[in-house]
Chains A and B, each alone.
Chain A
Amino acid sequence: MPNWKRKLSLCAAALCTAAVSLSLTAPSASAQDKKFKIYLSMSYSGNSWQSEAANIVKALAATPPYDKTVELTQVISGTDPQAQIAAYESMIAAKADGIISFPISSTALNRVIHKGCEKGVKFFMYDATVTEPCAYNVSYITAGFGENSAQALVNALGGKGKIFLSRGVPGNSVDKRHTDGAMSVFKKYPGIQVVDEYYSFWDDRTTQQETAKALAAHPDVDGIWAQAGEYGAIQALMDKGSKLVPMTGENSNGFRLALANPDFQKRGLKGVSAGSPPASAGYAFKLMMEALTGKRDLKPGNIEYPLPWVPADQVKLCKGQTFEDGCNAFPEGVVPSSFVTEVFSPTLLPELSIQSALEGKPTPGATIQPLPADVPKAADEPGINCQKCEPPADQYKLTKVQPTVNP
């Protein structure tokens, strides 16, 4: 790096003082062997889910042999699509080999992605998706979280009752897909009455406050269908008194522990933990690296990550730092309650441990294991992962649970 020092001194001259003392992480590629230049582009960071997903990618990029062959740079662009567009442009200009990203918008980034593809950059999106056909979408979205969890809630309620919908971010395509799926089930049951529907921004604390507001108007609620942030809904119920109700939610450790808590079960809590797994970021990263290193011939398209599905009676505490013997939650104190538990996968991501998800550190002694040859394809869903396409006729087909009550 001959001009590294010059960079620094120029920077110092122009921007002066303190700013520079924070070490600039200037690219430190060694000249002898070519490294893959990978960028991790996050739209925003600040909830457990986002950080865990990013940490998983960082940990995998530091696990041998990728620690020697991958140069990973993380860029956080905030909630502004314009900023992420600018970030992608910079990455393409910097001759990135691959960009792994959580896209802030399913449509606004299409043009810049298209330009990048033409220059040979591989785009792998995790969790959220884009409708640009030259990108790879690795996501659970099409796996039916909404309809399956809704059916589980209907089953738990015996087909009738007043329910809340705790949704995500208004005007967001993922939120809409989940809710449309859920409503396809709820609409079949005239006994199910959606008495309140609020937006919780996939955040525990917001969910708690919004659920508290809804409870003020409807203290007699019978069940809650929640997207991420579900642990906040339980806390809001407990703030009100001792009564708990059946509810479904996503994968926070607090929610899983609550589902398994015999005391809570006595007070009326039952349900299913399912939803968005941060592990899909790790799967996307490994797929991208296998494609880049030529170990796998993968055409751009939609790849489905399996939907985690843990009913109350299947919650099992882990003894160690990894998911062993099919355990799927950690004891209190090991991780915060907002920690999203679906960070590992014994078959897809055996390299990871808790330290990987919490701090982005590789597991000592682990090396990258090859992925199974078979890559599950995801269904086309217009506005989610394709533009001018038709959804399959059985778009909201139940896969994890069957109706136990008739409408």
Chain B
Amino acid sequence: MTEAHPPGATVAPAPRAQRQTERVADNRRTARLRPETITAVCVFGISILLVLGSRFVSPALGSWDHVNTIILLASFLIVVAFGQGIVIMIGGLDLSVPALITLGGVLTTSWIDASSGMSLPLIPAILLICACIGGISGLGVTLLRIPPFIMTMATGIITASAALGLTSGTPRGAAPPILTALMKASWIGIPVILLFILAFAILGSVLQGRTSYGRRLTAIGANPVAAHVAGIAVRSSVLIAYMLSAAASGFAGMMLAGYANGATLRMGDDYLLPSIAAVVIGGSSILGGSGSFVATIGGAILLTALSTVISALGIPQGWRTVIEGSIILIALLLLRENTFAFLRRRLAR
């Protein structure tokens, strides 16, 4: 009834290495479309179709205003999914996301007084605290070899309980003006949040795709042993990944505080599964080693657009939920790799 296994059997299995070599070979042939790019295009394509099609649900939908609402509501998910995506890239999973969103929001509203000018130095300080908690997860995963699932779940539970204890249940204060401006202000008619998400998308993609750190993450996710043999500092890279994820969640908490002008202790609860879903719908492998941030953003926007359209259907909640699940399933089937192979063959002709 027990499973004997020789020492060191915990290392990742071999086939990922194989897949990775295929993919690396694939990447070098830049003339060919990368699967990540096709996924990204398809996810955005489905989202646009959904938004255009939503006019049939309600005439007010499908407008520029609707798009703005989607971007605003998706912005939190995009920021969270950036961090979640990095952790998934290295073959981990971050379950502490909800707790860190809450921590970021609660610390912001309780420490930063709306009237004082201390918000600029305090925002990085709060992000650093969040990153340190992510660092604890990272240390547990790397040094103590605790499975990421258990480790991040534990840091999440501990952080959430500490936040509950610190606030005695009622977070005080309001959001600083700079965060309210980020979420609500406009600049020559363009919402600031749209510009911010664009900048964030560019920075995030560059970090994941164009820096040596990003390439290290891909290598570690594909095969940690091979990455180690190849001289990559696996431990510190993994540690930084968890810190980045925690800081991203903390920042999403700040954005939520700016949006709602206050913090609540359950403000992060709705982002755990969607953050994983956005990454996976964006084509990343849950086992690590592949994925692109742009496609993840597409996944986040698709999920948010879907929820705005579903919300406008005048049918009972149960059926709405059934339809939501079915559309996610259809989108997944459309995004299948075989569909891409078919497309690629078509394009190659």
Is A327 an interface position by the 8 A CB rule?
A: no
Q: How far is the CB of A21 from chain B (nearest CB, A)?
A: 14
Is B26 an interface position by the 8 A CB rule?
A: no
Residues of A within 8 A of B308 (CB): 213, 216-217
Residues of B within 8 A of A220 (CB): 60
Q: Is the CB of A216 within 8 A of B169?
A: no
- Given A46-B264, A360-B168, decide whether A219 and B312 contact each other with a Cβ distance below 8 A: no
Q: Is the CB of B264 within 8 A of A203?
A: yes
Please encode chain B, from 29 to 70, with 1 for each CB lying within 8 Å of some chain A CB and 0 for all others: 000000000000000000000000010011011000110011
Q: Is the CB of A204 within 8 A of B260?
A: yes
Q: Is the CB of A46 within 8 A of B311?
A: no
Q: Would you list which residues of chain B between 265 and 299 have a CB under 8 Å from chain A?
A: 265-267, 270
Q: Would you list which residues of chain A between 183 and 228 have a CB under 8 Å from chain B?
A: 195-199, 201, 203-206, 208-210, 212-220
Q: Which of B82-90, B142-150, B170-178, B332-340 contacts A (4 or more CB under 8 A)?
A: B170-178
Size class of the contact patch on chain B: 35 or more
Is B251 an interface position by the 8 A CB rule?
A: no
Q: Is the CB of A219 within 8 A of B60?
A: yes
Partner of A48, one of B170, B267, B312: B170
- Given A208-B260, A219-B65, decide whether A214 and B312 contact each other with a Cβ distance below 8 A: yes
Q: Is the CB of A50 within 8 A of B312?
A: no
Is B184 an interface position by the 8 A CB rule?
A: yes
Residues of B within 8 A of A209 (CB): 73
- Given A54-B169, A170-B317, decide whether A46 and B265 contact each other with a Cβ distance below 8 A: yes
Is B237 an interface position by the 8 A CB rule?
A: no
Q: Is the CB of A217 within 8 A of B65?
A: no
Q: How far is the CB of A206 from chain B (nearest CB, A)?
A: 7
Q: Is the CB of B264 within 8 A of A212?
A: no
Is A51 an interface position by the 8 A CB rule?
A: yes
- Given A204-B260, A212-B72, A358-B170, decide whether A47 and B312 contact each other with a Cβ distance below 8 A: no
Please encode chain A, from 267 to 288, with 1 for each CB lying within 8 Å of some chain B CB and 0 for all others: 0000000000000000000000
Q: How far is the CB of B305 from chain A (nearest CB, A)?
A: 10
Is B217 an interface position by the 8 A CB rule?
A: no
Q: How far is the CB of B275 from chain A (nearest CB, A)?
A: 15
Q: Is the CB of B314 within 8 A of A47?
A: no
Size class of the contact patch on chain A: 35 or more
Is A337 an interface position by the 8 A CB rule?
A: yes
Is B221 an interface position by the 8 A CB rule?
A: no
Q: Is the CB of A205 within 8 A of B260?
A: yes
Partner of B65, one of A48, A50, A216, A337: A216
With both beta carbons as reference points, the residue of chain A lying nearest to B309 in the complex is identified as A217
Q: Is the CB of B170 within 8 A of A216?
A: no
Q: How far is the CB of B50 from chain A (nearest CB, A)?
A: 13
Residues of A within 8 A of B169 (CB): 45-46, 48, 50-52, 54-55
Residues of B within 8 A of A208 (CB): 259-260
Q: Is the CB of B265 within 8 A of A339?
A: no
Q: How far is the CB of A404 from chain B (nearest CB, A)?
A: 28
With both beta carbons as reference points, the residue of chain B lying nearest to A238 in the complex is identified as B184
Q: Is the CB of B259 within 8 A of A336?
A: no
Residues of B within 8 A of A339 (CB): 170
Q: Is the CB of A336 within 8 A of B262?
A: yes
Is A239 an interface position by the 8 A CB rule?
A: yes
Is A232 an interface position by the 8 A CB rule?
A: yes
Q: Is the CB of B168 within 8 A of A213?
A: no
Give Cα A68–Cα B196 distance, bound, in whole angstroms: 57
Q: Is the CB of B307 within 8 A of A213?
A: yes
Is A367 an interface position by the 8 A CB rule?
A: no
Is A338 an interface position by the 8 A CB rule?
A: yes
Is B256 an interface position by the 8 A CB rule?
A: yes
Partner of B259, one of A201, A205, A214: A205
Partner of A205, one of B69, B164, B264, B314: B264
Is B261 an interface position by the 8 A CB rule?
A: yes
Residues of B within 8 A of A324 (CB): none
With both beta carbons as reference points, the residue of chain A lying nearest to B184 in the complex is identified as A239
Q: Is the CB of B262 within 8 A of A51?
A: no
Is A180 an interface position by the 8 A CB rule?
A: no
Which residues of A are at the interface with B, using a C-beta cutoff of 8 A? 45-48, 50-52, 54-55, 76, 170, 195-199, 201, 203-206, 208-210, 212-220, 232, 235, 239, 335-339, 358-360
21 CB-based A-B contacts, threshold 8 Å: A46-B266, A48-B170, A51-B170, A52-B170, A54-B169, A55-B168, A55-B169, A197-B314, A205-B259, A206-B270, A208-B260, A210-B311, A213-B311, A214-B312, A216-B60, A216-B312, A217-B66, A217-B312, A219-B60, A235-B261, A339-B170
The 4 closest A-B pairs by CB, nearest first: A51-B169, A217-B312, A46-B265, A217-B58
Which residues of B are at the interface with A, using a C-beta cutoff of 8 A? 54, 57-58, 60-61, 65-66, 69-70, 72-73, 164, 167-174, 184, 256, 259-262, 264-267, 270, 307-308, 311-312, 314, 317
Known: A76-B164, A210-B311, A216-B69. 14 other contacts (CB 8 A): A46-B169, A46-B266, A47-B265, A47-B266, A50-B169, A203-B267, A204-B260, A213-B311, A218-B58, A218-B60, A239-B184, A335-B170, A337-B261, A358-B170
